[in-house]
Chain A
Amino acid sequence: MVQSLNRTLDMKMAEDSSIILLGEDIGKDGGVFRVTEGLQAKYGEERVLDTPLVELGIVGMAIGMSINGLKPIPEIQFQDFIFTAFDQIVNQMAKMRYRSGGTITVPLVLRTPYGGGIRGGLYHSQSGESYFVHTAGLKVVTPSNPYDAKGLLSSSLDSKDPVIFLEPKRLYRSGKMEVPDADIKVPLGKAKLLHEGDSVSIITYGSMVPTVMKTVTENSLDADVLDLRTLSPLDRDAIISSARKTGRVVIVHEAPRTLGMGAEISALISESSIEYLYAPILRVTGPDVPFPYRLEDLYLPNTSRILRAVNRVLEFR
């Protein structure tokens, strides 16, 4: 995924001189995960800014650049560090179009790695997607493979609204696949059905996608697996049609359960399709505790927890 993101950024920067990257250690160092490797050498310090260590400044500057005709791609080194910039995201970025009656807009793509799996402890592992999904005016996107990473990034750059582009860092260097050199688009707001089945719908995204797929293939589950890809706005039609088909739903994500995406998806299905359901909708999520260092593996949802939930909804009567 790192390579795919890097090549996509490279291609887009070559096409469009208004694209500016800014963030901590993204230039000479190529970013702590190497997503921006080589781009400063190629496009210069004016287009790839190694910024001072100030997240709210990075985001605020990016908003100001966007207002004045640039297409900035700010990077927050770890999503865990985004909170000092939260005011800029929630009160400026997300509300600018609305509060200006549509006369000032902020198209930009804010990239940030999120989630666990790298022994990063409390402050290099959080999954904060709900904070952004809860905020009107933002689009929230998360790829689960190199192809989608390219296609979603490309579509995000076409968006006329700000996009929070969450990169599951655990998948940065896994899941090798062919990605075309040409530009590809994965539309925002569209989920992907990765596996088809009639007995249960497993709805997931980001870092949990490979874990869910492993559970399904190892246990030959007759399951729909839906990779949401965009968390805001959700692909309501894909969620509802799968839920109505199978009548049994499990939602899997790494973020804590309380007010996580699972809560929203569960409510959406209940409100629209309760009469199609044979079982309660279950969630398999990270627990409502801070993200741990040594006990990371216990925190992260795994195949056995997913399987247990699937069996519970299958056996429910």
Chain B
Amino acid sequence: MSEEIIEHGEKERLIRGFGAMVLARTLDNKIMTAQRQGRVGFFTPTSGQEAAQIGLSMHLRKEDIIYQYYRDMPMMLHMGVPVDIIINQIYGNSSDIAKGRQMPSHLLARNYNFMSVPSPVATNLPLAVGTAYANRYLKKQGIVVASFGDGSSSTPDFHAAMNLAAVYNLPVIFFCENNGLAISLPTEKQTKVEIWKKAEAYGMPGILVNGSDMIDTYEKTREMVEYVREGKGPVLIEARCPRMGPHSTSDDPTKYLTDIVKEGSDRDPLVITQKRLIEMGIITEQVATKMREDSQNFITSRFDELEKVPPPSPETLFDDVYDEHTWIIDEERGDIIGRN
């Protein structure tokens, strides 16, 4: 299988995927450190989920629309979202697309077809279905991806979206990044059935992939993506991957997790993927080291630079509630920051 990838001239694609994994890991570590230093307010780390996300997004095209969730920074980086967009959101500064209104990790980049992340989990899934409906009705190219964690599989929104996508036979990939935990609740206490198996109940294909291995995820998801692209209907992909850190910077995972996958260990998806790429002769140890160093330098410089960007101006508190300010908002704006 790996031979085939090389023969198909996909070496570049694999290198780019791995490069995005490295970049995402570097940025993730940087943000976690910065949060501990008091430079960033909050974060939901993404370490451990890079291979799963990028293994899938290696199949995606720029016209595809993604309803990502709050741990999908690696996929965004891989799909070309500039690091600055992400860092500005993490700081919530005046250059942030969302004008500092959302907590860090709630990323968006409309120009790159990444939609906005809500905190209530799975609530984007029905939106993905509607967006796919519009795609088909308007005869637009592209498919829709809706990603979520294992906890989301318990929600009414998951059920509604899976059922609706199947009933209307829509081009949606439901992508479950199962990191084994919903904050503190292990998956086996979340559901009695393996998540990928739920697909059958809704009338769509479902598969399980090893989300710790980018190449494996990439190869195993190919057919599913093609199925959706051909207009055959939705699919459910469950990618198992580790959550290598806390749920967020606000919790201590040692309270509920005894077996945390350590960075650099042989269960770290970055290590697993790197090892395979070296074995396949696609990269060398030296190339991987160089990638890490370059990422480190790049991220550090962008992170420090963008920290200087000022916070959003006070007036922005009152913008974008409606297309035009209502009298109520104008009045309240006047009370709080003074009139124009």
Contacts and interface: CB of A to CB of B under 8 A. Distances in A.
Chain A bound to chain B: yes
Interface of A: 18, 20, 46, 49, 51-52, 54, 56-57, 59-70, 72, 84, 87-88, 91-92, 95-105, 136-137, 139, 159-161, 189, 233-234, 236
B210 interface: no
A18 to B, nearest CB: 8
A61 B106 contact: no
Interface of B: 65, 96-99, 101-102, 106, 108, 110-111, 115-116, 118-120, 123-135, 137-138, 140, 156-157, 160-161, 163-164, 167-168, 319-323, 326-328
Q: Of residues A72, A84, A97, A105, which shows the largest number of chain B Cβ atoms within 10 Å of its Cβ?
A: A97
Contacts, number: 144
Contacts of A96: 116
A88 B126 contact: yes
B129 A61 contact: yes
B98 A56 contact: no
Contact of A100 (B97, B134, B160): B97
B92 to A, nearest CB: 11
B320 A97 contact: yes
A88 B125 CA distance: 11
Given A57-B126, A98-B320, 18 more contacts: A56-B160, A57-B161, A60-B123, A60-B129, A61-B129, A61-B130, A61-B133, A64-B131, A68-B131, A99-B102, A99-B106, A100-B98, A100-B116, A104-B108, A105-B323, A137-B321, A161-B323, A234-B328
A64 B327 contact: no
B193 to A, nearest CB: 21
Nearest to A49: B168
Contact of B134 (A51, A54, A69): A69
B130 A60 contact: yes
Contact of B101 (A57, A72, A99): A99
A92 B3 CA distance: 46
A104 B116 CA distance: 8
Contacts of B102: 99
Given A56-B157, A64-B134, A136-B321, A100 B108 contact: yes
B293 to A, nearest CB: 34
A103 B130 contact: no
Nearest to B65: A68
Contacts of B327: 233, 236
B110 A60 contact: no
Nearest to B106: A99
Given A61-B130, A88-B123, A104-B110, A67 B96 contact: no
B84 to A, nearest CB: 15
A103 B108 contact: yes
Nearest to A103: B110
Contact of A99 (B65, B116, B129, B140): B116
B126 A56 contact: yes
Contact of A160 (B101, B120, B131, B323): B323
Nearest to B129: A61
A59 B97 CA distance: 26
A67 B140 CA distance: 14
Contacts of B118: 91-92, 95, 99
14 contacts: A18-B138, A56-B126, A60-B123, A61-B164, A63-B127, A64-B127, A67-B134, A88-B123, A88-B157, A97-B323, A98-B321, A99-B108, A101-B98, A101-B101
Contact of B164 (A57, A136, A137): A57
B144 to A, nearest CB: 8
A96 B168 CA distance: 25
Contacts of A100: 97-98, 108, 110, 116, 320
Nearest to B110: A103
A99 B129 CA distance: 20
A72 B137 CA distance: 12
Nearest to A234: B328
Contacts of B133: 20, 61, 64-65, 70
A266 B56 CA distance: 56
Contacts of A104: 108, 110, 115-116
B126 A63 contact: yes
A1 to B, nearest CB: 27
A73 to B, nearest CB: 13
Nearest to B127: A64
B138 A69 contact: yes
Given A68-B65, A101-B99, A54 B131 contact: no
B320 A102 contact: yes
Given A54-B160, A68-B65, A233-B328, A60 B321 contact: no
Contact of B130 (A67, A91, A95): A67
Contact of A70 (B110, B116, B134): B134
Contacts of B326: 189, 233
B138 A70 contact: yes
A160 B322 CA distance: 8
Contacts of B129: 57, 60-61, 64
A22 B51 CA distance: 38
A52 B168 CA distance: 10
Given A46-B137, A54-B164, A72 B130 contact: yes
Contacts of A67: 115, 127, 130-131, 134
A234 B326 CA distance: 9
Contacts of A56: 126, 156-157, 160
Contacts of A101: 96-99, 101, 320
